[in-house]
Amino acid sequence: MIFARIRKQRDLPQLNLLPVMNLMVTLIPFLLLSAAFYHVGIIPTSSTAATEDVEDDARSVTVNLIVSKDRIEVSATSGVLEEETLELLSATLMAEDGRLDYQKLTDALYAIKMRFDLSDTVIVMPKDDVPYDEIVRVLDATRERVLNRGAASELRIPLFPVILMSRLVV
């Protein structure tokens, strides 16, 4: 009996795993190379089903900033406002002496915030040639407006606390 059991264990066929391993070695790099990495773009859309928030939406816009080395383009999007109204909010801030004017950017954003007080979101789309320091300065200019800077009674007015970074897809 014992000898029969030992003989059964010896007679079991050995699995040849070499073809499976070859397949994995070939398949895994192929799958990694063919993976689709996608770019996220922003498409302004509005939903017609949510009609109870239309009054609040009329007091809110999303500001878009396209940042390049020599200019900052300001525009706004909304699901309920007309294009003519949104075009009045657009501005192009050119660099002076090779430097961007962040105070002008803050002033333009403050004007938008005063007109649309429920707005809190800005989408920053820097171009590839913009240095990191410039992007940080733009982000600082969009968060708040500081009145009486350096004085004891310094006043900070929040502008757009929600900042989204996006890549400009051309």
pLDDT per residue as tens digits for the range 66-110? 999 899 999 988 888 888 888 888 889 998 888 888 899 999 999
Rounded Cα distance between 83 and 159, Å, is 23
Band the pLDDT of 12: cuts 50, 70, 90: low
Tokens, residue 75: 């525009």
Residue 45 carries which side chain, given as an amino acid letter?
A: T
Rounded Cα distance between 140 and 106, Å, is 9
Extended strands (E) in 106-161: 121-126, 144-147, 155-158
Rounded Cα distance between 127 and 73, Å, is 12
Tokens 């940080």, residue? 136
Q: Please name every residue paired with 75 in a beta bridge, in sequence order, or none if there are none.
A: 64
pLDDT per residue as tens digits for the range 119-166? 888 999 998 888 888 888 998 899 888 887 777 777 888 888 888 888
Q: Which domains does the chain have, with CATH numbers?
A: 2-33 (no CATH), 55-165 (3.30.420)
Q: What is the largest CA-CA distance in the chain?
A: 98
pLDDT per residue as tens digits for the range 13-70? 778 889 889 988 988 888 887 776 665 555 444 334 444 554 556 778 889 999 998 9
Q: Give me the pLDDT at residue 11, please.
A: 66
Rounded Cα distance between 71 and 90, Å, is 13
Q: Which residues contact 148 (CB under 8 A, 6 or more apart)?
A: 154, 155
